Structure 1
Amino acid sequence: MNGAVALPLDLPELSFTASGDALVRRSVLPSGIRILSERVPGSRSSTVGFWVAVGSRDELSALGTTPSRYGSTHFLEHLLFKGTPSRTALDIAVSFDQVGGEHNALTGKEYTCYYAKVQDRDLPMAVSVLADMFTSSVLDAAEFENERGVILEELAMADDDPNDVVGERLFEAVLGDHPLGRPVGGSADTIKAVTRDAVWQHYGANYRPQDLVVTVAGAVDHDELVAQVTAAVASAGWDLTALSRPVERRTAALAEVRRGEALSLTRRPNEQAVVMLGYPGFAAADDRRSALGVLNSVLGGGMSSRLFQEVREKRGLAYSVYSFASGYSDAGVFGMYAGCSPKNAGTVAELLLGEFGRLAADGITDGELARARGQLSGSAALALEDSDTRMSRLGRSELTTGEFTDLDEALRRLDEVTPADVRALAAELAGRALSVAAVGALDAEVFAGLVETDEPEPLKAVS
């Protein structure tokens, strides 16, 4: 495989060999269902995912303007495990437990995935059960109310974790009223308010043949997989004779983002304060994402990174300190994190900002670039030892970027990154609106002078 492989929505069949002699195949059925597989030589397990390109950001546009609809995506993720006309919730659980398999689901800001990992011989069972859940959930009224309580407990657990809280607050502060700034799971108020009818409407509107993407990695025969998926959804009553084009991918044009808050402070009587600094970042498909990976690695991606060395090793002010980059279809967040004593929060925040400022002004060294390349290439290769990672890569490629990039191509792009690329990227980020989010026994004065309150111009759409 040379270069990335495009995944056009109107191409019925596609097949190619990726790095490591993995065979990747893709079928777009007349009904709009997309099925992708990656057969890995020597694998004895398979990971399968059923995806829809609908996440927490879509609840307003898909369901109207009523705030009580927020949280429906996460609610539905729970409910699909609660039973179908042919399987109870216990039946679903037993199906995987009795073969030593794993099954779960995740709700993201832009997609939802129901997945399972099993031995190769149990893949037909996994496809059948997940297809039944996906197509035929009954959303029983009693189970709906039971699960409402479960989700409220889940949210309460997250609210007790300062790391979860500060992450949510940072996204709200950086992205403002952009839908990506909303919490994935909703809030206690929205979960209490959402109705079964709202969730049922969400289910019917977004879980259709043209929305479904099935990805399998590991020990898999593509033709058999297509037959298994087709038979499973047909038995659920889906009309596969109706011609339909897959739903279009989201626009890749950068959205306008206005900062929500310069400082978001949540006061808690905790022994430790957690602090995050963030900027509007880059979209997932941005051509500079390899340079962004290098920037993140050098700044806060490991024990040799600048943040770790300056804040933890030299000064002993934090146990956990790092940077991160989150990219979505039309926006992103770049940020830095540290957990420290409340009395040191102001100092640590200044150190985070100072290290990033120096990187933006002076760039990185050749030695740092070499270490970052080694770290990124090694971690990518190790991650691909797991069929879960490969299955997820197929799903994100299909739903988000519209292209498949194997390890060899990713490493080629990484090798093209220069120190000048990283410096230019850091300088661009540093010129954007900074937001600070913190949780702990803190006062706003701790961060005085760290952020500007005047709102700069919003990010403009780019071609």
Structure 2
Amino acid sequence: MPAVRSVSIGLYIKVGSRYEETSEAGVSHFIEHMLFKGCQDWPTSLDIAKEIEGRGGYLNASTSHEFTTYWVKIGARHWQRGLRLLANMVQWPLLRAEEIELERGVILDEIYMYRDVPEDLVSQLSNKAMWGDNPLGREIAGEIETVSALTPQAVRDFHARAYRPDRAVLTIAGAIDVAEVQDIVGDHFGDWQAASDPPTLKPAPDLAAQPRHRIAIRPSEQAHLQLAVPGLSRLHPDRYALSLLNVILGDGMTSRLWQRLRDERGLAYSIGSYINMFIDSGVMGVYGGCDAKRLFETLVETMAVWLDLQQTPVPESELRGFKEYVKGRMELSSEDSSAVAAWWGRQVAT
């Protein structure tokens, strides 16, 4: 990408909540936090932050059900610093006992925070109804009890098992020279060794046919709802068709849900659809927030839109318009080094 002035680096580790035993739920997310607390060449969290932010860059991470991702976006002239830092963080974190105890409190506060946010709470309730006691139905950050019980040694042991070169994908996009990158990547990652047997992914359950529901009564200005149905895995041959269906249903202001529930009926400010695709399963759903007094009406209208899309073919002219929407968004994202790095990371890591 010679026209951009940034470089984005993504490091994808094949580990997340689906690789955890029930007793260690939340350990993947815990380790993600701990890698920012100090490593061999940058021993404190401030040292790590200064290395990137001191040059105007961004450093962040996230944990999902199947991956933990670390990324840096920085000016092109500093990209080697970002790569060296990521390599140091994932291979040689300090994982000090006193830092683990401090961060435990931060993570517990994070769990409580998500439970206080209606959008996050309704999502977790939906996952629990869909997946039950499977790791897909758990909070990625873990439960209060399991996070409280994790020992420093358990954190170190899980890192040693999960963070290994055969489970990692590195992506770099931006103003770079490919030959130079290959040499420098070898310098920083060439000696990375697997320490022990990796954790294994817990398979998704067979989804029951009967409907299930979860309700939480909380003081709130709105009622929040989520409807979910079984979807497709990210390896399914129809995954692209499902992605387009999701756009038609609830992605953007021209989507059917937005037009019907917001523009025509004024039922909801927040309304949309989503898909989550995993390696062996998936889910498609609708989320909305509305006046509690109009909850039933919102549900009825949402189901009407969904059923109409299921039962009536999409007109060719409408389909062409949504295809152009998707292509246009892809073109725009191709100008962003972080979006390009993330796209390649998802392709290769799968």
Which category of TM-score, normalised to the shorter sequence, fits these structures? over 0.9
Aligned with residue 140 of structure 1, among 96, 99, 107? 96
Opposite residue 52 of structure 1, the aligned amino acid is I
Alignment of 1:109-188 (within 5 A): 109-188=65-144
Which moved further from structure 2: 330-339 or 223-232? 223-232
| Superposed CA offset, 1:208-265 (max 9, x none) | 222222110111222222222222235xx6459x9xxxx9x989x9862337971110
Aligned with residue 150 of structure 2, among 167, 181, 194? 194
Between the two proteins, the alignment pairs up a number of residues equal to: 348
Cα separation, 1, equivalents of 2:319 and 2:49: 47
Q: Does 1:100 align with 2:50?
A: no
Alpha-carbon contact 1:176-1:261 (below 8 Å) kept: no
| Superposed CA offset, 1:329-355 (max 9, x none) | 111110011110111111211211121
**Residue equivalent to 1:87:** 42
**Residue equivalent to 1:75:** 30
- Please give the secondary structure, in 1, of the residue aligned with 2:61: strand
Alpha-carbon contact 1:104-1:116 (below 8 Å) kept: yes
Aligned with residue 351 of structure 1, among 295, 301, 306? 301
1:114: Cα distance to partner?
1.1
1:187: Cα distance to partner?
2.4
| Superposed CA offset, 1:134-155 (max 9, x none) | 1000100000011011111212
Higher helix share: 2
Structure 1 unaligned runs (5+)? 1-39, 61-66, 401-463
Cα separation, 1, equivalents of 2:306 and 2:100: 47
**Residue equivalent to 2:15:** 54
Cα separation, 1, equivalents of 2:232 and 2:8: 30
Opposite residue 333 of structure 1, the aligned amino acid is V
**Residue equivalent to 1:285:** 235
Aligned with residue 174 of structure 2, among 190, 197, 218? 218
Alpha-carbon contact 1:47-1:387 (below 8 Å) kept: yes
Cα distance change on mapping 1:143 and 1:160 into 2, 3 Å: same
Provide the TM-score with structure 1 as the length reference: 0.71
Alignment of 1:326-365 (within 5 A): 326-365=276-315
- Please give the secondary structure, in 1, of the residue aligned with 2:139: coil
Cα separation, 2, equivalents of 1:104 and 1:380: 23
Cα separation, 1, equivalents of 2:340 and 2:210: 36
**Residue equivalent to 2:206:** 256
Opposite residue 231 of structure 1, the aligned amino acid is D
Cα separation, 1, equivalents of 2:267 and 2:68: 38
Structure 2 unaligned runs (5+)? none
Alpha-carbon contact 2:257-2:302 (below 8 Å) kept: yes
Cα separation, 2, equivalents of 1:260 and 1:359: 22
Q: Does 1:381 align with 2:331?
A: yes
- Please give the secondary structure, in 1, of the residue aligned with 2:268: coil
Cα separation, 2, equivalents of 1:254 and 1:139: 31
Cα separation, 2, equivalents of 1:282 and 1:83: 39
